[in-house]
Amino acid sequence: MQHEITQRIPLLDGEGNLTQAGFARRLLPVYDRKKVRGGLTRLKEWDYYYIGNDRFGLALTIADNSYMGLDSISFLSFEGKPWEVTKSPMSALPMGRTGLPSTSAAGITASSGKKHAILFQVGEGKRQLTAHMDGFKDGRPLDAQVTLTGEPEESMVICTPFEKKAHFYYNQKINCMRASGVVRIGEEEYRFTPEDSFAVLDWGRGVWTYHNTWYWGSASGLAEGADFGFNIGYGFGDTSAATENMLFYRGRAHKLSQVNFGIPMKDGREDYMKPWRFTSDDGRFEMGFVPVIDRASCTDVKLIKSDQHQVFGRFSGTVVLDGGDRLEVRDLFGFAEKVENKW
């Protein structure tokens, strides 16, 4: 039985531990940075947006990982011969000075450097995302202006403890937002329209242990003519109180139990570009996944190591809502990833 948090509570107690482990359908636990006790160099705060359709996608990140700041812009093209470009300038020892908000529901998140700037503005029922980077692709700059609307009433919120005291993972995923706007790379222009372009926010705050491996999958779009999406994932922390697996249909969240990522193997290693298979222990999430492109990156600078495979493609299968209704999902564009970090 998964524990659901149903009322507004402080996220942390006086010793920096979670007051409750579990899940919620809204951002009910209140995050207060001043209550963190697990070591400020282990505190990680980030806002990540992915905006996409079945032709192209844009990802924007602002992260303050205490000893290391990261701003990232990715653009992906899924048509013809798929391609992607990612630029991720880093900074040393921001230690919270980035000033990421304590809530996802309002505020301004901004970060910039000599050749780039990223700005997230949240309020009045919309999210405005702006980004610029010099020399993004073949010497050409990238400029993006995107507006997100139609935020659903319910989302995925998870409070997960680690075994180590005062370490925790607090996260919200908001799927199925509608996107409008434009990305320009030099003279090339890519337009998002709310009819077929959707966005997800990955909003995270937490004190992490050093070595972690996680699996995450997400998609937003239409199923049987209505807004539909899902969030699936596992791999770190103590998830005995709740998983972060959830369906979203017509603005409502439907809670899932365990979901397994079936990544194909070849010669003892993951073969990410072969079809994947996802299954759940309760039979409510049965999905195939046909990859289109693997946004792979590996960074190894002694104490910091990151091996990432974020694979974009099409999901097809069946899901079962809380009331027992079954939905058919066909060629829903999204992504699934495996990430190992020592950070």
Sign of CA dihedral 242, 152, 277, 77: negative
**Contact of 23 with 42, CB cutoff 8 Å:** no
Q: Which residues lie closer than 8 Å to 96 by C-beta, 6 or more apart?
A: 33, 40, 43, 45, 64, 66
For residues 147 and 160, the answer to whether their CB atoms sit within 8 Å is: no
pLDDT of residue 5: 98
Give the residue-averaged pLDDT of 206-220: 96
Amino acid 192 reads F
What three-state secondary structure class fits 129?
strand
Q: What is the Cα–Cα distance from 220 to 231, expressed in whole angstroms?
A: 9
Asked if the model's pLDDT at residue 328 lies above 90, the reply is yes
Residue 66 confidence class, pLDDT cut points 50, 70, 90: very high
Burial (CB < 10 A; 0-12, 13-18, 19+), residue 265, is exposed
Residue 200 predicted with pLDDT over 80: yes
**pLDDT interval class at 61 (50, 70, 90):** very high
Please give the span between the terminal C-alpha atoms of the chain, in angstroms, as a whole number.
32
Model confidence pLDDT, tens digit, residues 10-53: 999 999 999 999 999 999 999 999 999 988 899 999 999 999 99
**Sign of the alpha-carbon torsion through 183, 188, 191, 196:** negative
Helix, strand, coil percentages for the chain (3-state, nearest 5): 0, 65, 35
- The full DSSP string for 157-215 is EEEEE-SSTT-EEEEEEEEEEEEEEEEEETTEEEEE-TTT-EEEEEEEEEE--SEEEEE
- Residue 303 in this model has a pLDDT that exceeds 80: no
Q: Which two tokens stand for residue 125?
A: 């029922």
CB-based contact 64:40 (threshold 8 Å): no
In the chain, domain spans:
9-342
> Is the model's pLDDT at 311 over the cut of 90?
yes
Token pair, residue 259, equals 């979901």
3-state secondary structure 57-88: EEEEEEEECCCEEEEEEEEEECCCCCEEEEEC
User: Interior CA angle at 129 toward 124 and 135, to 5°?
Assistant: 165
Six token digits for residue 211: 């070595």
Q: Which residue has the higher pLDDT, 332 or 305?
A: 332
- In this model, does residue 72 exceed pLDDT 80? yes
Give the model's confidence band at 342: pLDDT under 50 very low, under 70 low, under 90 confident, else very high: confident
pLDDT of 29 reads 98
